[in-house]
Amino acid sequence: MLGGFRRPAQNDQGASAEGAMIAAKSAAANLPDLLVEAKRVAATVSAGWHGRRRAGPGETFWQFRPFDFGEPARRIDWRRSARDDTLLVREREWEAAHTVLLWVDRTASMRVRSRMADVSKEQRAVVLLLALAELLGRGGERIGLADGPPPSARRDAADRIAEALAETETEGAAARPKLINVKRHADVVLIGDFLDPLGEWAETFRTLAARGTRTHLVQVLDPAEEQFPFGGRTRFVDPESGLAFLVGKAEAWRTSYQDTLAAHKAALATEARRLGSSLIVHHTDHSLAPALLALRSALAGERDGNAGA
């Protein structure tokens, strides 16, 4: 498990069962603050957020456009046309809500936070999920959790999802989504560190592909997991299993570790392409806005290869 390369055990909250329980309770208690942060992030990027609105059957006015000769005359808005001596057609907005299902990894490995970042991977992943839910809810999309409350089109979607997450035990959280709400042709957003061997995700990926979903993978990493800034005598602990080992010269492992991580990320990007999307990589020492905008582009169908944030 790549996640075994974490920070030294003496600084790791997950090194003991008691520490893991404290961290899990703290994560649940922080959810209201994370919701506030998510709404702030959503408000920051909302100016650049464009929904999937287009002309079609609906109740809401969309735009006026020039009349094309050959189409039925009943489509002409005569009152508006009289103002400019130009035949204009009033178009309505096509209200076609889409279903987006969300999932966030809240296992012990996501609670890692090195000295190089201000927040844990779990905190950043939850904020990203809630900010996305806030923006999609404003846009009228049907949003829900892949393994929680079923999707619905509500402007308070982020609040509802935050409540559902708060009621879910983080200690012993599932490492993979249960996909109970995933139907055909939905968009599915999976947020986690994806540091487990990809073989452990094979069944999940096969199920998503069989249901015809468009799946978006967001990999959240601590900068220490990329840079491996360890040196000298260092003890490494896997926060999931508690397995630990001691090395004499940690810096001698750096190149091999980084090569292994790069190969793992390349394989994950390949899986993302097979699932109809791209891999978005976000580091917890970076701003969240680029990752949120990259997700917006992916959900809008703008595929531009592997995105980083």
Q: What is residue 3's predicted lDDT score, i.e. its pLDDT?
A: 41
Q: What is residue 303's predicted lDDT score, i.e. its pLDDT?
A: 39
Q: What is the mean pLDDT of each run of 10 residues along the chain (309 residues)?
A: 39 44 54 87 72 49 76 84 85 66 93 93 95 89 87 87 83 80 90 94 93 94 95 89 89 95 96 90 95 88 49
Question: Would residue 301 be called left, alpha or beta, if left means φ above 0 and alpha means ψ between -120 and 50 degrees?
Answer: left
Q: What is residue 167's predicted lDDT score, i.e. its pLDDT?
A: 82
**Helical ranges in the chain per DSSP H:** 17-29, 31-45, 78-84, 121-138, 157-166, 202-210, 223-227, 254-274, 289-299
Q: What is residue 47's predicted lDDT score, i.e. its pLDDT?
A: 64
pTM as predicted? 0.76
Q: What is residue 8's predicted lDDT score, i.e. its pLDDT?
A: 36
Give burial (CB, 10 Å; 0-12/13-18/19+) of 246: exposed
